[in-house]
Amino acid sequence: MRQTRHEIRTYSADAALVAARRKHIVRHAMRLFAGQGYDRTTMDEVLRACGMSKGALYHYVGSKEDILSLAIDEACVRQAVALDALSERVGNATASEALKETIAAYLELIDGLYDANKVLERESPSVPRYYRLKAMNNGIRVRQFFEGVLQKGVDAGEFSVPNVSFTAYLLCSACLAWTGRKWLLGRRYSLADYRQELTDSALKVVRPAA
């Protein structure tokens, strides 16, 4: 199992073209990985899903592991960018508004990365260790972001939270349930409905009793 980040070889010098082709490959392959499992998906199935010849596909990636690594890299970058943008938006907001924004932004991110999150949750042993750790560190950063919002509310007297870290963990888990249980939750809730229910419940829990 690979312990460090590996360079994914390509036979093209056109960086923009490589990025576009890899994005296309990752999008179609991750749909297969999420639907039928990473180990059960063959490269021939990936070829057909991408509508590419074997020579064309192997021009940009060399293996399923390459594709999975690219997908996790992309997911981690998108999450980091989303958290940076969120931090800017909620910097001067009240804790309640910041919590609403954080739940909304995280759910939107999770929904947009549904396939990647599903594969990570279900196929963790197949993911190279370096990328598992990278995804785990990103998850820790999200939990710490929730902790910061909750602590801000406690310090301002806006929230009453006996255990900030545990409450942040519960909020992260409730958001991630949209990936792990979307097949069930989606029968009852739209993403907007689930966000509203989760936000209302969270605010009831963290606000001091009247």
pLDDT for 3 equals: 46
How would residue 17 be classed by pLDDT, with cut points 50, 70 and 90?
Answer: very high
8 or 46, greater pLDDT: 46
3-class SS letters over the chain: CCCCCCCCCCCCCCHHHHHHHHHHHHHHHHHHHHHHCCCCCCHHHHHHHHCCCHHHHCCCCCCHHHHHHHHHHHHHHHHHHHHHHHHHHHCCCCHHHHHHHHHHHHHHHHHHCHHHHHHHHHCHHHCCHHHHHHHHHHHHHHHHHHHHHHHHHHHCCCCCCCCHHHHHHHHHHHHHHHHHCHHHHHHHCCHHHHHHHHHHHHHHHHCCCC
Burial of 100 (0-12, 13-18, 19+ CB in 10 A): buried
pLDDT for 1 equals: 39
Give the mean model confidence (pLDDT) for residues 20-44. 92
How would residue 2 be classed by pLDDT, with cut points 50, 70 and 90?
Answer: very low
pLDDT for 153 equals: 96
Q: How many other C-beta atoms lie within 10 A of the C-beta of residue 83?
A: 19
How would residue 93 be classed by pLDDT, with cut points 50, 70 and 90?
Answer: very high
pLDDT for 30 equals: 92
pLDDT for 5 equals: 56
Torsion angle of the four alpha carbons 186, 190, 196, 201, in this order, in degrees rounded to the nearest 10: -10
How would residue 146 be classed by pLDDT, with cut points 50, 70 and 90?
Answer: very high
Share of the chain above pLDDT 70, in %: 96
Burial track 45-54 (b if 16+ CB lie within 10 A, e otherwise):
ebbebbebee
Which two three-digit tokens encode residue 204?
């009831």
| Gyration radius of the chain's alpha carbons | 19
Checking if the pLDDT of 207 tops 70, the result is: yes
Alpha carbon distance 92, 105 (integer Å)? 17
3-class DSSP state for residue 160? coil
Least confident of 76-90, 128-142, 143-157, 161-175: 128-142
Alpha carbon distance 69, 4 (integer Å)? 11
Domains annotated for the chain, with CATH where assigned, are 65-206 (1.10.357.10)
Give the mean model confidence (pLDDT) for residues 171-182. 87
